[in-house]
Amino acid sequence: MFVALAIFEHCPRRWLDSAKELRAALDAAVAAGSFTCLGTMVVPFSPQGITACAIVSESHLALHSWPEEGRLFVDIASCSTREGVLAAIDAIAKAMPEGSLTVLDERVVEPGGARLAADQKLGGGGDL
């Protein structure tokens, strides 16, 4: 099982509160990771925020937005490959408006629970 967690900040409020934009980012992540999508759900909250999830044969992808803080929390788990998980994270980053992305935290957990060193995370830490 490969698990990636990332918190992106300085994201535009309008983008974070758009069900259409988050669904597009989720769909791009599923495709980039070569995951088999079984179903998706996008739930907007009042007064703001959205949770978008994809259940995939390999496990799941979840995006949770906090427009009032300019943050997006991403949780991806897969029983397939590390590369697929990283490609999915990268697709979400590319779906964001240019210049809005700062990675606050990122973690990849490999099978057996070993956490990667900082210079190994998400393709070297500079790919996002």
Residue 10 to residue 76: CA distance in whole angstroms: 21
- Three-class DSSP category at 2: strand
- Asked if residue 47 has a cis previous peptide bond (ω within 30° of 0), the answer is yes
Question: For residue 56, what are its two tokens?
Answer: 């995939």
Q: Of these residues, 11, 64, 65, 78, which one is catalytic?
A: 64
Question: Is residue 57 annotated as part of the catalytic site, yes or no?
Answer: no
Question: Is residue 64 annotated as part of the catalytic site, yes or no?
Answer: yes
Q: Of these residues, 18, 37, 53, 59, which one is catalytic?
A: 59
Q: How many Cβ atoms sit within 10 Å of the Cβ of residue 122?
A: 20
Question: Is residue 11 annotated as part of the catalytic site, yes or no?
Answer: no
Residues marked active site are found at 59, 64, 79
